[in-house]
Amino acid sequence: MAPSFDQLDPETGDYDAEDDIDFSDLKEQYEVRMEEGLDTFVVIDGLPKVPEDSKPKLVKFLLRKLTTAGKTKEDDVYMPLDELTGQTGGYAFVEYETSAQAAAAVKLLHGTPLDKKHTIAVNKLTDIERYGREGKIDETYHEPEIASFEEKEHLRWWLGDPEGRDQFIMFKADDVGVYWNERDDVPDQIVNRTGWTETFVQWSPKGTYLISMHAQGVQLWGGPNWSRQKRFMHPGANLVDVSPDERYITTWSHKAMEVQEGNPVLSLEEDGKNYIIWDVATAKPIRSFVTLDLAGPTNDAEGNPIKQKIQWPAFKWSSDAKYVARMTQGQSISVYELPKMNLMDRQSIKIEGVMDFEWAPASPQRDNVKTYEQLFCYWTPELGSNPAKVGLMSIPSKDIVRTRNLFNVSDAKLHWQSEASFVCVKVDRHSKSGKSKATNLEIFRVREKGVPVEVVDSIKDTVINFAWEPKGDRFVLITAGEVPDGAPVPPKTSVSFFCPEKSKGNTIGNFKLIRTIDKKNNNAIHWSPNGRFVVVATVMNQQYFDLDFWDLDFEGEKDEKDKDLTANLQLMTTADHYGVTDIEWDPSGRYVATTASFWKHRMENGYHLYTFSGTTLREEPTEQFKQFSWRPRPERLLSKDEMKNVRKNLREYSKTFDELDVAKKSSANKAVVEARRRLLQEWLAYRSRVQEDLEEEREALGLAAVSEERAALEVEDDGETRVVEEVYEEILAEEEEIVD
């Protein structure tokens, strides 16, 4: 049995208290740091200094802010007093129920202003302990070095092009290039880089940045030198979405992130998440989320997993990017306020059965509504005895602006007009027997008093495509009949054009059918960004690939039956592009590009360029041609009156551009002539040099400067010597053949 300390006698020398063993190195190595209990604490700095009597009032005021991030109470707020002044020290320690709530408080409350003079700083107590350990904070004050001013690149430099040209990007094989568009010449290349992206490229909504995708994350490029502007470290990011004002960016990866401690950008809060919403200015994450499981079965009848397609973008931005929202299908819509990304009113909006929603693409201007608001439209299916429903909700008030009940609904799609004047709900209905289907259009007139709803129910077949005219009030739709069982080819489609009737005052008349074109194969509608012109096409089809160019404001004679309509429809031309997969208008509405992408098929890849009226300008077949995308432009700075003045004096402005075009062609012709003259001069100089070398060589050999044969050809003419050359033709063989 081992002796106890009580049995040891100091006098015997068995134990000497002054000869203790030094365990300091082992204690330092194996000491248990009690930080696990401190990760629920945060430190609040920047508080006002108040006397002890005012301290409870300050704590209650502070709690209003603190409880927006998690649960805490007055007893959990420790605000020390200064013994000398008898006032609070301007800081406080706060304990939350969980460490997640403490982390959320740091995210949401750091930098929040309390009043005009005080802005609080919020940090985790464990972070302060970690950063202050092991001499990480120098006790000696060093004055910070202020970096010298460096002028940054002008990110919208391309808008100053004197010729008003647009840019586009082409991705072919492994090369990504940016080009100036030329009407009558080959594109003018600005930059070309191999391996600029690993999957695809994408422009930001206003064209400021070019986005490239990499295994390590997402990068933003811009400026005249195409330098890297921002970098977002999201490993394995598959998709990216940018807010309308380009201040925020969403990245998504199908694989959940694995974040290790010490990551310079991502925190442990991002571990296991799929989505990250970033602040573009700071390139730092604001908040992260996991991918929600979609409603419906996950396995088929045989037990195999069903590959579900995610909705993209999952986070949808309001028109001014003050809100971003995500839907939990069948349950709710969560609206987050930017830039803090805090859940509005700390709870999601419960909408039972919600299937889809869309924000208004512009700030709404409803009748007699002067306060700020954003709108989104949503729809719910039939649940039990309750009908399907379409609703308009105002944010941030959460007021229901308008609802409409629908019956026998199979599906619905939401289509906003670009200026938020209308929202069309395309409702696919089925008969009571479920055998036949038809489509109704429920058009909400958002700007009119009471938001009236106009129903277009004259459509017999199912609508497979619908598109509003940008900045206008006309629309085009494509319908298709039911597919018979065992049919080898899909049924023919019909293209219908609608516009409002003429009306008095500022009101917009009822929507009427202009014309329906039957027996077509079209499935795609692409409006010019400025309206009026539209391309109705057949894409992703190996049998049909026609392109129809339509004008809805044709300046020719108008049919008598259309005199009360606000459109004059005319087919300008028809073209075709074999294997066309994508169609895109340039921002000015002057040109249309059609592409056959290598990503979708391997036959005759490349692009075609057309004018707005369908005239072919260029056909460029290119192997492994993957992507073509016009560079977007920001909103115009001209007022409506200034734009009206430009349209009124368009002929005067066009003369200036015509002169520039002529001068450009003349300069091009002049360049060709000068190039030919330069080549001729080089040839004459070469011939003269060779002739001098020949004469020197003959002189060295003791021969005459000119041979006898050449001398015989020389003729004196007015004191000048000219060489006369004779050409002889000799027939080597001749054959005759009689043709019946």
Domain of 51, CATH number, reads 3.30.70.330
Least confident range from 21-35, 337-351, 359-373, 421-435: namely: 21-35
pLDDT single digits (tens) 205-236: 999 999 999 999 999 999 999 999 999 999 99
**Residue 321 domain flag:** no
Q: List C-alpha distances in Å: 701 to 539, 688, 691, 694, 711.
A: 77, 20, 15, 11, 18
SS (H, E, C) 123-138: EEHHHHHHHHCCCCCC
pLDDT single digits (tens) 278-305: 999 999 999 999 998 766 665 655 666 6
Domain range enclosing 53: 37-132
**Residue 678 domain flag:** yes
The DSSP annotation for 324-374 comes to EEEEETTTEEEEEETTTTEEGGGS-EE-TT--EEEE-SS----TT--S--E
**Residue 116 domain flag:** yes
Smallest CA-to-CA distance from 234 within 250, 219, 253, 217 is with 217
CA angle 357, 361, 364 (to 5 degrees): 100
The pLDDT score that the predictor gives to residue 600 is 95
Q: Is the dihedral of CA 326, 328, 329, 335 positive or negative?
A: negative
Percent of all residues in the chain with a pLDDT value above 70, rounded to a whole number: 88
Asked whether the predicted pLDDT for residue 315 surpasses 90, the reply is yes
More confident residue, 434 or 683: 683
Residues 6+ apart with CB under 8 A from 320: 244, 245, 363, 374
The pLDDT score that the predictor gives to residue 721 is 62
Residue 61: its H or E element: helix 55-66
Residue 572: its H or E element: strand 570-576
**Residue 726 domain flag:** no
Q: Which two tokens stand for residue 596?
A: 């056959």
Asked whether the predicted pLDDT for residue 239 surpasses 70, the reply is yes
Q: List C-alpha distances in Å: 486 to 437, 483, 570.
A: 19, 8, 37
Percent of all residues in the chain with a pLDDT value above 90, rounded to a whole number: 59
- Which of residues 76, 97, 132 is at a domain's end? 132
- Which of residues 132, 159, 189 is at a domain's end? 132
CA distance linking residue 105 with residue 41, whole number of Å: 10
**Residue 657 domain flag:** yes
Give mean pLDDT, residues 138-147: 84
CA distance linking residue 361 with residue 421, whole number of Å: 10
**Residue 671 domain flag:** yes
**Bridge partners (DSSP) listed for residue 172:** 175, 625
Asked whether the predicted pLDDT for residue 528 surpasses 90, the reply is yes
The pLDDT score that the predictor gives to residue 641 is 87
The pLDDT score that the predictor gives to residue 323 is 97
pLDDT single digits (tens) 109-133: 888 888 888 899 998 888 776 666 6
Least confident range from 129-143, 491-505, 576-590, 595-609: namely: 129-143
Q: Find which of 2-6, 276-280, 553-557 is predicted with most confidence, using mean pLDDT.
A: 276-280
Smallest CA-to-CA distance from 525 within 577, 480, 469, 568 is with 469
More confident residue, 304 or 452: 452
pLDDT single digits (tens) 687-719: 899 988 988 888 888 888 777 777 776 766 666
Q: At which residue do the structure tokens 């992703």 appear?
A: 540
**Residue 451 domain flag:** no
SS3 content of the chain, % helix, strand, coil (to 5): 15, 35, 50
241, 234 in Cβ contact below 8 A?
Answer: no
The pLDDT score that the predictor gives to residue 705 is 76
Mean pLDDT computed over every residue of the chain: 87
Q: List C-alpha distances in Å: 340 to 104, 106, 320, 391.
A: 10, 11, 15, 28
C-beta contacts of 661-668 below 8 A and 24+ residues apart: 664/163, 665/184, 668/185
Cis peptide bond upstream of 396, omega within 30: yes
CA 316 distance to own-chain centroid: 12
Smallest CA-to-CA distance from 523 within 565, 491, 493 is with 493
Asked whether the predicted pLDDT for residue 200 surpasses 50, the reply is yes
CA distance linking residue 196 with residue 202, whole number of Å: 12
Confidence of residue 333 (pLDDT cuts 50, 70, 90): very high
The pLDDT score that the predictor gives to residue 357 is 97
**Residue 352 domain flag:** no
pTM: 0.77
pLDDT single digits (tens) 342-383: 999 989 999 999 999 999 999 999 988 999 999 999 999 999
211, 278 in Cβ contact below 8 A?
Answer: no
- Domains contained in the chain, number: 2
More confident residue, 134 or 102: 102
pLDDT single digits (tens) 604-659: 999 999 999 999 999 999 999 999 999 999 998 888 888 888 888 888 878 877 77
612, 592 in Cβ contact below 8 A?
Answer: yes
The pLDDT score that the predictor gives to residue 359 is 97
CA distance linking residue 393 with residue 709, whole number of Å: 101
Q: At which residue do the structure tokens 């169609």 appear?
A: 583
- Which of residues 91, 113, 132 is at a domain's end? 132
Residue 252 buriedness (CB in 10 A; 0-12 / 13-18 / 19+) = buried
DSSP-derived 3-state class of residue 65: helix
DSSP-assigned letter for residue 665: H
Q: Which two tokens stand for residue 22?
A: 């030094």
The pLDDT score that the predictor gives to residue 86 is 87
